[in-house]
Amino acid sequence: MPEFAAQPVPPMRIAFDAAAATLSPEGPTLTRRMSDLEGLFADHDAWRDAAEGENPVVYSVVSSPVPEEDRELPQSITTIQPGTTGGEFWMTKGHQHPNHQGEIYLGLHGAGGLLMFDGERTEWIDMAPGVIGYIPPGWAHRSVNVGDEPYSFLAVYPGGAGHDYGWVLEHGMGHRVIAGDSGFSLTDYTR
Amino acid sequence: MPEFAAQPVPPMRIAFDAAAATLSPEGPTLTRRMSDLEGLFADHDAWRDAAEGENPVVYSVVSSPVPEEDRELPQSITTIQPGTTGGEFWMTKGHQHPNHQGEIYLGLHGAGGLLMFDGERTEWIDMAPGVIGYIPPGWAHRSVNVGDEPYSFLAVYPGGAGHDYGWVLEHGMGHRVIAGDSGFSLTDYTR
Reported as a single tens digit per residue, the pLDDT across A163-186 is 999 999 999 999 999 998 878 999
| Domains of chain A by start residue, with CATH | 18-188 (2.60.120.10)
Query: Which of the residues B1, B121, B156, B170 would you substitute to probe the A interface, choosing the one with the greatest number of A C-beta atoms within 10 Å?
Result: B156
Reported as a single tens digit per residue, the pLDDT across A131-153 is 999 999 999 999 999 999 999 99
SS3 content of chain B, % helix, strand, coil (to 5): 10, 45, 45
Give the nearest chain B residue to A156 (CA atoms): B156
Reported as a single tens digit per residue, the pLDDT across A116-127 is 999 999 999 999
Q: Are residues A138 and B73, on separate chains, in Cβ contact within 8 Å?
A: no
Alpha helices in B90-159 (DSSP H): none
pLDDT for residue B2 is more than 50: no
pLDDT of residue A4: 47
Cα gap A178→A164, rounded to integer Å: 24
Q: pTM of the prediction?
A: 0.94
Give chain A's length.
191
A12 contacts in B (CB within 8 Å)?
A: 125, 132-134
Mean pLDDT across chain A, nearest whole number?
94
Q: Are residues B156 and A104, on separate chains, in Cβ contact within 8 Å?
A: yes
pLDDT level of residue A190 (50, 70, 90 thresholds):
low
3-state secondary structure of A147: coil
Least CB–CB distance from B118: residue in A6, A139, A158: A6
Q: DSSP assignment, residue A8? A: S
Report yes or no: A168 and A98 within 8 Å, Cβ to Cβ. no
